[in-house]
Structures are given as structure tokens and as C-alpha cells.
Amino acid sequence: MKIGIIGCGNMASSIAHSIKQSLEPQLFCYDIDLDKAHMFSRVYGATKVDSEMEIVNNSNIIIIAVKPKDIFDVLEKIKDGISEKIIVSIAAGISISKIKEVVGGKKIVRVMPNINISVQKGVMGICFSEEVTADEKEKILNLFKSMGEVIATDEKHMDAITALFGSGPAFVAHFIESCADAAVKLGFSRQESLNLILTLFEGTVVNMKNNMLTTQQVKDMVTSPGGTTIEGLVEFERRAVKGAIIDGILKAYERAKNIL
């Protein structure tokens, strides 16, 4: 499989790291920032090329991993070489029809991954333009399934997937950080706090999954009448923490719908 990557930033690195764990693709890379392309090629064993079009000429699958504001520039540069090749866009909020406005009726795949793909624990949304054949869909689905859980979906759900799962790692990190700050406030060192809180999160997730526990069951098991936990939960409710988290995700969703 020949995979070309245009834009060698955070997501491209997560994708390359993940692909290298399970598959043996031939990787090609290009970035307008030459240092980034150089570093990427060294770390992931990718062949560095000198232009967007060279990526297209060398690859069957072209992953565009630039910021949404830069994608149309890239599409303009490659549109005449795409032909039957598969274009994969991971840009937030950029629809297949917007991409088609530049490149025409080509084989386009829109994917919304998250950084957790680098440890094969991503949650990804994926949708296809009608030009992509059933065989090609299967090939692309298998590629991304090697990086985590894939939701093959109607494009109308992609902005919600962006808010929930694309942005999700940052939201989870924010909650982890809040707990670690509390631990520091209570006298634990910063490093110790982070490690302990990570184990708290990991342990809770594994416990819930292995024992098929609902959130309510966990809360009931932990919360003693008149005890410590209810004090914390009541304060969270008083401060509307749950509402704030839901509103934050909805803000991210609105932004995904209006990214440009």
C-alpha cells in the first residue's frame, strides 16, 4: 500500500505511528515546513518528496492532514493529478461537497480521527463520496480499523463526531488536569498527582468495561450515605459541572459546523 501524507503535523504523526505498528505501508510525506517533513521522514521512515503533486504521483491513497484553512490550497495544487486515486481528508468541518467544488467528482474519504489512534485506541468517524467503490471502502475501513474503533456513518454526523471524539482527548485531559490540580492542592507532588490520577481514570474505565458497570452503578457503589463522595457530587451539581461539559461539547459542535 502506497500512502502519501500532505502536512506532517500532530495528526499525521499519530496516523503514521499507528500505521507503522500494524501494517507495512510505503509512506511518502510532504510539508511546506521543510524541517517538519524532514523530522517526519526520519521518525516514520517515510520518503520525503518536494511537492504536493509528487505525493499524488507516488501514492494510491493521499491523506491530507493540513489545517482546514489550508486544505483548499492543497486541493488546488493536486487536483489535476488525482484521477482515480483516493483522497482522504481529516480536516474538521470540511464537507465532501466543499472538496468536490475544487477537485470535482473524485474518490473522496472524509475521516475524523483523534490523537488516540497513535496507541490504536482512536474513535473515528468515516464517510465516503459516491465515487468510492465497495472494494476501496473496505480497504480504507481496514486501514483505519487498525487504528481503533471506526464509525462508518452518514456525513451529517461528522461534526458531532468531531466535537465528541476529535476534540475529546483535550476535554478528557482538561478533567484529568483538574483532578491533578486538586491532588497538588492536597499536598501530592505534580508528577505523583498526574500518575495517580491517570491510574484512577484507567482503573475506572477498565472496571466499568470488564464488569459492564453503568455510571450510575459506579456512583452508587462509591457513594456512602452521609459520606465523603456525596459531598463532592453535590458540589459538582451545585456548580453545574455536567451542564458545563455538555455545553462545551455543543460549542465544539457549532464550531465544527462553521469552521471557515
Q: Point out the annotated binding site for NADP(+).
A: 6-11, 65-68
Handedness of CA 36, 39, 41, 45 (dihedral sign): negative
Minimum separation from the CB atom of position 128 to ligand A1CAB (A): 20
DSSP 85: P
Q: Which is nearer to ligand A1CAB, 9 or 81 (CB)?
A: 9
- Do the Cβ atoms of 62 and 6 come closer than 8 Å? yes
Structure-block grid coordinates of residue 84:
482515480
Which residue lies nearer to ligand A1CAB by CB, 78 or 92? Answer: 92
| Between 216 and 258, CB nearer to ligand A1CAB | 258
Instruction: Rule CB under 6 A: say whether 125 interacts with ligand A1CAB.
Output: no
| Helix (H) / strand (E) containing 87 | strand 86-89
Q: Residue with CB nearest ligand NAI?
A: 9
- Comparing CB distances to ligand A1CAB, the nearer of 126 and 183 is 126
Q: Which of 1, 66, 68 is nearest to 32 (CA)?
A: 66
Smallest gap from residue 171 Cβ to ligand A1CAB (A):
10
CB of 84 to ligand A1CAB, least distance (A): 29
Residues 218 and 204 sit within 8 Å (Cβ to Cβ):
yes
Burial of 102 (0-12, 13-18, 19+ CB in 10 A): middle
Shortest approach of ligand A1CAB to residue 167 CB, angstroms? 5
Q: Does 14 contact ligand A1CAB by CB under 6 A?
A: no
Q: 507503522: which residue's cell?
A: 20
Closest to ligand NAI by CB, 32 or 82: 32
Nearer to ligand NAI, 51 or 191 (CB): 51
Residues numbered 77 to 106 that lie near ligand A1CAB (CB under 6 A) are 92
56 scored as a contact of ligand A1CAB (CB under 6 A): no
Question: Is 49 in a helix, a strand, or coil?
Answer: coil
Give the bridge partners for 88, in sequence order.
Answer: 63, 109
How far apart are alpha carbons 39 and 8 in whole angstroms? 9
Shortest CB 70 distance to ligand A1CAB, Å: 13
Residues 6+ apart with CB under 8 A from 53: 77, 78, 81
Q: Which residues bind ligand NAI (CB under 6 A)?
A: 6-12, 30-33, 36, 52, 65-68, 70, 73-74, 90-92, 112-115, 166
Q: Does 166 bind ligand A1CAB (CB under 6 A)?
A: yes
CB of 188 to ligand NAI, least distance (A): 29
Containing 156, the helix (H) or strand (E) segment is none
Region of residue 145 (left: phi > 0; alpha: psi -120 to 50; beta: else): alpha
Site string for ligand A1CAB, 145-164 (x = CB under 6 A): -----------------x--
Per residue in 231-245, is it b (16+ CB within 10 Å) or e — as a string? eeeeeeeeeeeeeee
Point out which residues bind ligand A1CAB (CB under 6 A): 92, 162, 166-167
